[in-house]
Structures are given as C-alpha cells and as structure tokens.
Copies of this chain bind each other. A is one copy, B any other.
Amino acid sequence: MFRFMSQDPSQTIARLVETLGSDSVISDEAGMANYLNEPRKRFHQKSPAIAVPKDVAAVQALARLANAEGIPLIPQGGNTGLVGAQVPLFGNEVIVSLARLDRIRDINAAAGHMTAEAGAILENVHKAAEAEGGMFPLWIASQGSARIGGLLSSNAGGVNVLAYGNARELCLGVEAVLADGRLFEGLSSLKKDNTGYDLKDLLVGAEGTLGIITAATLKLYPLPQAYETAIVSLESPEKALELFYAMRDRAGSRLNAFEIVPWLGLDFQLRHGMLDRDPTADKSPWYALIEVAQPKGAEGHLLQGGLEAAFEQTLITNAVVAESEAERTRMWAFREQMSECQSREGASIKHDVSVPIAAIPQLIRDGSQAVKRLVEGVRPMPFGHMGDGNIHFNFSQPVGADPKAFMAGADPIHDAIYETVLALGGSVSAEHGIGQLKTGLLRKVKDPVALEMMRAIKLALDPNGILNPGKVLD
C-alpha cells in the first residue's frame, strides 16, 4: 500500500484540477474549513484539497487518478460523524465531498422504495418520502446536515432502530465507485435477490474504506396514522428491562422506541432552562420514553392498556401519555437534548456501547460503580436506546471540578467501561463506528480472525490502500 506520497500538495491540486476542472476543487483554507472541522473538535489534520465532483463519472475519474498516482481519498457526506472517519489522519488525503450528488433519482412510496444520491441530506429524503405519502424511518440528531452516503457508510442508528433497523436494514442496494474507478452497479429495489455475495452490506458500514457510495435504493414505509407516546417513571434499569419485555410482547413490531434517561438528565435540562415544562409525571430515578405506532387500519389504544398493566405489576410508578403533538414534541426534545445538556453542565466523557439487552441493568450498575471508584463525585449519565441494547454511557464531571483535569483522566474511564462491556459480550461501538478514534481499541478487542478477514477483504478490493487509509483498520 502507498502510505507516504511523493507528490507535494500543489502537484496534487494541479492533478485534481486537470481531472475534475477548477470548479470541482477547493484548496483555499477558508473554503476547506467546513470540510476539515468536525463536530468533536478532536481531529485537526490538514488536507491538500477538497474534491467536489459533480457526478458519478467525475467520482470515477477521481478514483482512477488517485489509484494510479497514490493519492489517498476520504469520502465525506455531511461531515457529522463522531469518530473522525470523514477527516484526514495523515494530512495527505484528499477529501471527496459527495455533496453535489444530491438528487432523488426515483421514488415509489406505495411500492416502498426510493433511490437517492449519496449527497442527499437526510431531512430532504424525509420530505421527499412524505410528499409521496411514505416514510424513511431513520431519525438522528444531525438529520439537517447528515447525507445518505455517510449515513450508510457509518450504518447510522437513531431512535427508530427498534422497529425499522439500522441504516443497513433500510437500504436495498447501493451504487459505489471502487478504489480503481470501476462502478459497482448495485442499485436495486428488489426485496429478494439471491444471486451471489452480499456486496451491499459489505459497502454499508465500511466507513468509505472499500468503495465510495454514490447512490442508494432506500426502503420506504407507510406513514402511521398516529403515534402513542409516553414518558413513564421507573425505579431502576431492572424495572425498565421488565417493562421493555412486556411492551415488546404486547406491541410486537409496532413498538417504535424505548429510550431511557436517568433523573440527572431531567435535572440538567431543567436547570439549564432547556425545557419550557417538565414532560415527566414526577421526580423519579429513571424515565423511559416509549412510543408505539398505529397503522392506518388499526383501532384502539395499545400503549394505554400496556401502561395500566405495567402499573398493576409495579413495573412503573407513574406515566404521562402525550395528548397533543406539542406534548409529544416536548417528550422527544427531552430525549434529544441529552447530549447538549451535558455540554452545558461541563466536561463529559462518552461511550457509545451496546450489550445483549438482558445485560443492560448490569452494564449500568457495574460501569457506574467502576468509574465512581476512579473519580470521586463523577456523575454517571447512561441513557439512550435501551430497546436496542445501546446505551450512550456518558460521565459528567464532578460539580466544580476542572473540565480539563477531568478530561485528562479519560483513559482509565474508557478502559473501565470497555472492560465492563466486553465482559458482558457487548460492542465498544454500537452506532458511531470506528473511524480514526477507535482503531487501536478495535485491534485490542475484536475477534482476531474477524480482523484478518477484514484485512484480506480490504486488500482484495483496494490493493493500493487508496480509500480512507488508516480508518477502521490501522
């Protein structure tokens, strides 16, 4: 593989301009800033230039050039990733923004599919689907800027994975430019196609290391006629687990969301003036936000009866059911502001982890205890997608502590949480991926045979190591 390039940046820029035209290459510092500055403010490597190809043929031409001359490429969507997959690691990589490939190529909501280009912004995909009476059920906090190519490359999750799956499950086929410029024509609206290896799922979640996704066929679902949404008060994660089992058994695939938040999350948001009104029934150690979808042909209230049963079985101590769209919006805001409220409260150390769902209470108990032993006064803030076994296991700094000093002690906290997660058979990256942040961690914790298989596949599909070098596999 190429690792050290002989080309100086001005040579690289000249070759890019020759290949793509000057209107498709950004190399001034101000213009490049939007592509290089990433949301974690953690990765600060430079890049010779940003390529902004105007169509698929231009992406192919770029890959041919890069593969022939050893120019590393980083595919980038909305630059919202949290693990640095979309920004440089070595400083000689050219970022390939797919932003100009943003068309909806076709849509058939009744049949349940649409084809969107990699640069289509998630929110626009939502709107296009809804305009046809359908729904693309992938919702994440950054949907106003995240783009389809990046969402698929990172196999994004979000708040409706419980009912509809991750980005992977929402994708029927992809079109992608390979490292040497060949075009993999894998767009497909077929639900069943057993003609060879599953190349779509290899490209989805590969964080741009195996190909540059240029378009995708996405699944659309019918819009429900209504949602039933509630926030319940609970004593413990154990009760939340029992309640989840009961609600899942009762609602089946109509159970859309089951999210948990500890009391501290409400406290932060109320103290920082982030909620116009408390959306919960009362002060409680734990809350769960539960949402059930009602298909158009269904009658009756499924959630209400479930909550009454849960109350009788002492799984919950109280509940509020949203009685208007405004109340539902407030409940979801409470959940979605969980990241922001921790920023306002000071420094926090974060982990995006998953465990088998039955192990969630133990994860929260063991992880909180382990970190409390390390840092006196640390405030555990485990919250998130309980129904998927996926907890954002964050820790806010002790009250009054120095944020920098707290962050300097992050490594032993990471170690303690990842050790707890692995002991429970969990994953150290549930939905955010590996990028450049977790390559060392992956090497330590992943099945070594899986790593060997991944390396063999990478070498087979990108023998010169052109695509996003040093990401996922270091």
* Chain A positions near chain B (C-beta within 8 angstroms): 108, 110-113, 133, 154-155, 157, 161, 163, 165-166, 168-169, 178, 182-186, 188-199, 201-202, 204-206, 210, 221-222, 224, 245, 248-254, 293, 295-300, 302-303, 305-306, 354-358, 385, 388-390, 425-434, 438, 442, 445-447, 449-454, 456-457, 459-461, 472-473
> Which of B202, B221, B461, B472 is A252 in contact with, Cβ under 8 Å?
B221
Asked if residues B192 and A198 are in contact (CB atoms below 8 Å), the reply is no
Residues from chain B with Cβ under 8 Å of A457 in the complex? 197, 202, 457, 460-461
Asked if residues A295 and B357 are in contact (CB atoms below 8 Å), the reply is no
> Which of B197, B354, B459 is A192 in contact with, Cβ under 8 Å?
B354
Q: How far is the CA of A457 from the CA of B276 in the complex (A)?
A: 55
> Which of B222, B253, B357 is A163 in contact with, Cβ under 8 Å?
B253
| Closest partner residue, chain B, to A255 (CB atom) | B295
> Which of B190, B210, B428 is A354 in contact with, Cβ under 8 Å?
B190
Name, among A113, A192, A451, the residue most crowded by chain B CB atoms within 10 Å (CB to CB).
A192
Q: How far is the CA of A113 from the CA of B354 in the complex (A)?
A: 15
Q: How far is the CA of A193 from the CA of B421 in the complex (A)?
A: 12
Q: How far is the CA of A194 from the CA of B161 in the complex (A)?
A: 14
> Which of B251, B426, B429, B449 is A194 in contact with, Cβ under 8 Å?
B429
Residues from chain B with Cβ under 8 Å of A222 in the complex? 248-250, 252
Asked if residues A298 and B298 are in contact (CB atoms below 8 Å), the reply is yes
Q: How far is the CA of A245 from the CA of B112 in the complex (A)?
A: 9
A440 → chain B closest CB, angstroms: 13
Residues from chain B with Cβ under 8 Å of A453 in the complex? 178, 184, 197, 199, 461
* Additional A-B contact list (7), CB under 8 Å, known A110-B249, A197-B202: A112-B248, A165-B169, A191-B354, A297-B302, A298-B302, A457-B457, A460-B460
> Which of B113, B165, B446 is A195 in contact with, Cβ under 8 Å?
B446
Asked if residues A190 and B297 are in contact (CB atoms below 8 Å), the reply is no
Q: How far is the CA of A36 from the CA of B206 in the complex (A)?
A: 39
> Which of B194, B389, B445 is A190 in contact with, Cβ under 8 Å?
B389
Q: How far is the CA of A251 from the CA of B190 in the complex (A)?
A: 21
Asked if residues A252 and B300 are in contact (CB atoms below 8 Å), the reply is no
Asked if residues B299 and A191 are in contact (CB atoms below 8 Å), the reply is no
| Closest partner residue, chain B, to A154 (CB atom) | B194
Residues from chain B with Cβ under 8 Å of A431 in the complex? 192, 194
| Closest partner residue, chain B, to A357 (CB atom) | B111
Q: How far is the CA of A419 from the CA of B253 in the complex (A)?
A: 38
21 pairs across A/B with beta carbons < 8 Å? A108-B356, A111-B358, A133-B249, A157-B194, A178-B453, A182-B452, A184-B453, A190-B354, A190-B389, A191-B354, A191-B390, A195-B427, A195-B434, A195-B446, A196-B472, A196-B473, A197-B202, A199-B453, A252-B254, A297-B302, A457-B457
Asked if residues B456 and A460 are in contact (CB atoms below 8 Å), the reply is yes
| Closest partner residue, chain B, to A304 (CB atom) | B297
| Closest partner residue, chain B, to A205 (CB atom) | B198
| Closest partner residue, chain B, to A242 (CB atom) | B110
Q: How far is the CA of A157 from the CA of B201 in the complex (A)?
A: 18
Residues from chain B with Cβ under 8 Å of A473 in the complex? 196
Q: How far is the CA of A249 from the CA of B194 in the complex (A)?
A: 27
Q: How far is the CA of A222 from the CA of B202 in the complex (A)?
A: 30
Asked if residues A389 and B191 are in contact (CB atoms below 8 Å), the reply is yes
Asked if residues B196 and A112 are in contact (CB atoms below 8 Å), the reply is no
A7 → chain B closest CB, angstroms: 27
Asked if residues A185 and B447 are in contact (CB atoms below 8 Å), the reply is yes
Asked if residues B111 and A245 are in contact (CB atoms below 8 Å), the reply is yes
Residues from chain B with Cβ under 8 Å of A163 in the complex? 253
Q: How far is the CA of A358 from the CA of B358 in the complex (A)?
A: 41
> Which of B202, B204, B299, B305 is A297 in contact with, Cβ under 8 Å?
B305
A246 → chain B closest CB, angstroms: 9
Residues from chain B with Cβ under 8 Å of A305 in the complex? 297
Asked if residues A427 and B197 are in contact (CB atoms below 8 Å), the reply is no
